[in-house]
Chain A
Amino acid sequence: MIVDFAQMLRRSDIDYYVKSFANTQPGNDQIAFYSTVPGYYPSTGSQSSVSLVAYRINAQNKLERMSKGLVWNGVSATNAPIVFLPLTISATWPAATSTTVDIDYELVASQIFRFEYAYLLNDGTLSDTPWATSAGHINVNGMQDVTAIIVSIALIDSKSRTLIADSQLSTLLNNMPDFAPSMNPGDLVAQWQSVIDGTTGIPRPALQGIRFYERYFRLLK
């Protein structure tokens, strides 16, 4: 993830599928963006240096990563290259922004069942929208206002996971709040811990197998 974010393309004329006040993404978050990392390329060859990267929690409550290697422009009618605005990621690769199955998704962390992210803006504030509304900005504009992406995850070890039914885990993760701009660093995982502490109906040994992590991924400027 650190490499994906570090090599994220940052241009005002490309699309990002990211959380914002216009796309609040309640519950688990989803993100899709272009990055200059290797991906799974189609067999046509003519590999470009850009991949489409996406993260999501799948229907089995496990973290998946897409790394779709893109070909050069004009190589084929079926394999899309990087597209610039007005074409969007969601219109070109629907699976990157939905729950649709795609061959280029792979399971990267089967223990992670909760995925939430927020933004550290250039002025030091935390935000659920990747631009500084205080500066009058109204769109993502190449992530120009974002210094880092803060990723918070909850994971459950495999042994504990066997003690919790899918429906219970779904209920649990839905009870874990989303990031809110009023939060300070660390507040989100603290609230998640409170939810776990207050949860009944799930064996305590199973809940004890849940851990939280939060990390800041700096974007290349």
Chain B
Amino acid sequence: MKPRSGPSRNFQQEGAALVIILAFVVLLTGLVIAYLSRTITDRQLAKSSFEDTAADLLARSSLDIIVSDLKQEIADSPAVSVSNIQPRSFGTPAPALTAIPNLIRRSVLGDPTGRTSNVNSTAASVNGRSISLPRWNSHYLVPRASTSTTVDSTPVSSFTAPDWVLVTPDGPQVLATAAPTVIGRYGFAVFNEGNLFDLNVAGFPFSPASPASSATPGIPSTDVGRKGGVALADLTGLPTSPTVITTSTSTPSSWHSASATNDIVGWRNFASVQPSGSFGNFTFDSAGAPIGTGTRFLNLFLSTNSSFLTVSTATSSNRTDQALLSRGELLKLRGSIGFSQNVLQYLGTFSREINRPTSGAVTARWPLSRFDNFATTPPSTANAVAIQTYFGLSYIAAVSGPPAVGEHWEYVGTSGSTRQSAIPTASGATVDSDLPTLLRNVLPSAASTGEILSIVASLIDQRDTNSDTTWIEFGGPGPAQKAYGVDVNPVVDPSPSPSPAPRPASVVVLNRAFRNVGELGYAYRNAATTLDFLTSTSTDAPLLDLFTFNTASIRAGTINLNTGNIAVITALLTGATTSEPSTIASRTNAYHAAQNIVNESNRQNAIGRADVARLAGAGGTFFGSSDEARKTVVRTLAELAQTRTWNLMIDVIAQSGRYPPNASNLAQFVVQGEKRYWLHIAIDRFTGQVIDQQLEAVYE
């Protein structure tokens, strides 16, 4: 009898079943683990996305609050004065500490916003998150503490990190203790980007660029000297050491190099200027080269109607010019070119200006190019029409005689044909009003018709290309009265009435187009004295605000006249013409004059370009003691600086999160999301209008 095989078969079957069950258990376990893993990952991703969005919304909301504060500040003080022409400052270093010229304000306990709590952003949160000082200065707008070349944005010790503004569902609240209602926090600092050179516009090339002692502008020094635009600022006037420049700092020891400037200009204006070489090693033609890089550079930047808000449409070898799109790009470009980090505190990427006077009802500035209608005489038919429209003058040809009578002009008004005896009152004057009417509007009411027309005649003498003294006849219907200008040759008039006053011993006559509004200062208000652009009480100074070389209604590049950056003023003044045609300002003299100018603007802010006269007077005699030399500051700053538009960069860091129930102080916040923005914004101080803005997300 064979033994039963049943138990053995059952054992095998049970074993197989066990294996199958175990396999299923393993499979099921794997599925559960995979499910849980996927769920947890998805949940984490969703939470991370949620917190990112929450932080982003918080950052944007905080920017809205900060901008609203600025606009409210303007609305609260519609009457512009020296005390409110600049944004209100708070959270800046105490007077005894190192000043930070670009810093306007930061969130700090007790600030005027009334929203900031007593917790600093450098304090670590519960989960170890803090904003270090180098991070707060990652834009390099605060002077660095170190002058070493090691990449390090640690700011000077006088910079204190912003305090946090705690945000609840009801908005920002000042809290003394941690509260569960807090949903996030933000800190901010506001910088005056108008204090800086907009690198999309500033700077010209050099040839040769090295060695530093031989660096020479790659454009004629006369063009540099006439400063028709911020492009003609000499960036080698920016110190690289020391990092902190004050009104008592002795002449810096090192400066931004010409070769680095060439690398910037070559990259920026690659197509329109067409340098030789390649990125990092651009070279330019020497100043004397005919139709070379210098000529192309001047053609681009001396255009009288370019706003420089967009890149030139020039192309070359399938390349175009470039623009710095953000401050982040500027920082990266610096790294690629390799110039000093210390210069970054003087460089920006965003600037706007409403090109409009700061006083009076005129809504635009009168173009200096209108004087070009006098370039040749007799004027063409078209020029004659323009001259009557914009000057109210009619041309009278010379008579060979006897008696010989020189060519001259009659004041007939904009629509008349006979001599006028008086200049109309300026009611309703616009940018298209004729010059005598505008002058009547700006100059003291005591100024006579003859005095105003003498200024007009002298301005014509500066612009026309002959050397004969211009006169303008007015009055009638009886014998004409005559208003004389000042030119190289004396008046050719057999019957002067009144007789011209004795001429100055020597006169400076440009006999060319005006390149900047300050050059009006070469004109005489009578036969003995030029227009007064050098005293704080000058009644001629408002003319500086009324005329312009560049006529773009909104433009980029102009510098805040109240900039506290001595280096920026130095770079503007370096190379400026101190005596026509070719004597120019040295960098050292420019630096010392800039110290005096900043000292004066710190004492009393400038409200408009008219204040340039006061600043020029304070600038001293570093460029010489002559009237012409002392007006060097006027010819530079009145064209290249402005006061009416605030150009700001708002640096905000927002963190979403909460306070845990056991939080015992305000630092014990749990950070769940973070977002940082740099908002570049231009606001017209006089109207509160936001002219333009650029939001730059910061990724660190």
Contacts and interface: CB of A to CB of B under 8 A. Distances in A.
Interface of A: 6-7, 9, 11-13, 36, 46-50, 71-77, 80-87, 92, 220-221
B317 A36 contact: no
Given A11-B310, A13-B311, A73 B318 contact: no
Interface stretch (B23-31, B242-250, B328-336, B528-536): B328-336
B278 A74 contact: yes
- With most chain A CB atoms within 10 A of its CB, the pick from B267, B278, B282, B320 is B320
Contact of A72 (B313, B320, B336): B336
Interface string B314-331: 010111111101101100
A72 B270 CA distance: 11
B59 to A, nearest CB: 12
Given A72-B333, A74-B270, A84 B320 contact: yes
The size class of the interface chain B forms with chain A is: 20 to 34
A35 to B, nearest CB: 11
A84 B695 contact: no
B266 interface: yes
A9 B266 CA distance: 22
Interface string B258-283: 00000000111010000101111010
A46 B335 CA distance: 10
Contacts of B317: 77
By secondary structure, the A interface counts as loop
Contacts of A87: 315, 318-320
B697 interface: yes
B455 to A, nearest CB: 41
B266 A92 contact: no
B563 to A, nearest CB: 27
B282 A74 contact: yes
B267 A72 contact: yes
18 contacts: A13-B323, A36-B325, A36-B328, A36-B329, A46-B279, A50-B325, A50-B329, A73-B267, A73-B268, A73-B270, A73-B321, A73-B322, A74-B266, A84-B310, A84-B311, A84-B322, A87-B315, A87-B320
A86 B336 contact: no
Contacts of B697: 6-7, 220
A86 B278 contact: no
Given A49-B329, A74-B275, A87-B319, 18 more contacts: A7-B697, A11-B323, A36-B329, A46-B279, A49-B325, A49-B332, A50-B325, A73-B279, A74-B266, A76-B278, A80-B318, A81-B319, A81-B322, A82-B322, A84-B322, A84-B323, A86-B315, A220-B697
B322 A75 contact: no
Interface string B58-98: 00000000000000000000000000000000000000000
B695 A220 contact: yes
A74 B262 CA distance: 12
A85 B313 contact: yes
Contacts of A6: 697
Nearest to B333: A72
- With most chain B CB atoms within 10 A of its CB, the pick from A7, A73, A87 is A73
Interface in B328-387: 328-329, 332-333, 336
Nearest to B310: A13
Contacts of B313: 84-86
A46 B280 contact: yes
A7 B695 CA distance: 10
Contacts of A48: 329, 332-333, 336
- With most chain B CB atoms within 10 A of its CB, the pick from A72, A92, A220 is A72
A87 B318 CA distance: 7
B319 A80 contact: yes
Contacts of A36: 325-326, 328-329
A221 B429 CA distance: 38
A108 B313 CA distance: 35
A136 to B, nearest CB: 19
A92 B332 CA distance: 24
Nearest to B267: A73
B690 to A, nearest CB: 12
Contacts of B323: 11, 13, 84
B325 A9 contact: yes
Contacts of B280: 46
A75 B279 contact: yes
A7 B325 CA distance: 12
A47 B279 CA distance: 11
